[in-house]
A and B are shown apart, each in its own frame.
Chain A
Amino acid sequence: DSGVTQTPKHLITATGQRVTLRCSPRSGDLSVYWYQQSLDQGLQFLIQYYNGEERAKGNILERFSAQQFPDLHSELNLSSLELGDSALYFCASSGLAGGFPTGELFFGEGSRLTVL
């Protein structure tokens, strides 16, 4: 158990719909990352938050947005869904040790999104 919690585990929806994926980082971790993994593909970085603020953006579509709340949990919003958005969405968190980034990234078990 990595300590990173993601919900829901599975989600099936239709094209054009909107969904929200939720992530709770490990206790004490300030950074949250979102990744997308399509079938048999690698991990595509979407976006990173640090202590409530957006830190970096990757290949995130304009239809997607995210935020990190004061309690450090994060949500990834996917709208106007298309068939190609079907994928595993992972949240990961990293923290600090002695005030410095630990350099380690811990993943949740993912949310599997199927768009029909």
Chain B
Amino acid sequence: GQQLNQSPQSMFIQEGEDVSMNCTSSSIFNTWLWYKQDPGEGPVLLIALYKAGELTSNGRLTAQFGITRKDSFLNISASIPSDVGIYFCAGQLPNTGNQFYFGTGTSLTVIP
């Protein structure tokens, strides 16, 4: 299946620090999605991106659709303890019948 390489795999940061994570692929995607998953819960959609170069914010979160359409970035500013969780990227390939492919996740720990 399609591989999305997500990095870093895990992050340990101090409260108040900014966070950056990214997702790359060898294929061109027409949609990028970012999700947050709390333990034992379903992933929650944070941000959806639809155009190359698009930069979208949702509160302290900002995500960008890479200009090559093969990557995407998520930034979290001024992290707080409730940001703890696993963040997944997901991409949708063109002409695949609405198929979504997921990254392996970034586990974020925020130290108060």
Smallest Cβ distance from B42 to chain A, in angstroms?
Answer: 4
Contact residues on B (Cβ < 8 Å of other chain), bracket: 20 to 34
Q: Which of B12-20, B52-60, B72-80, B91-99 forms contacts with chain A?
A: B91-99
- Given contacts A103-B31, A103-B50, is CB(A31)–CB(B98) below 8 Å? yes
B63 contacts the other chain (CB 8 A): no
- Given contacts A42-B103, A42-B105, A43-B88, is CB(A107)–CB(B43) below 8 Å? yes
Contact between chains at A108 and B42 (CB < 8 Å)? yes
22 contacts between A and B (CB under 8 A): A4-B42, A31-B98, A33-B100, A42-B88, A42-B102, A42-B103, A42-B104, A43-B102, A45-B99, A45-B100, A45-B102, A48-B98, A50-B98, A90-B42, A94-B98, A94-B100, A103-B31, A103-B33, A105-B90, A106-B45, A107-B44, A110-B40
5 more CB-based (< 8 A) A-B contacts, given A43-B88, A105-B45? A45-B101, A101-B98, A103-B33, A104-B48, A107-B35
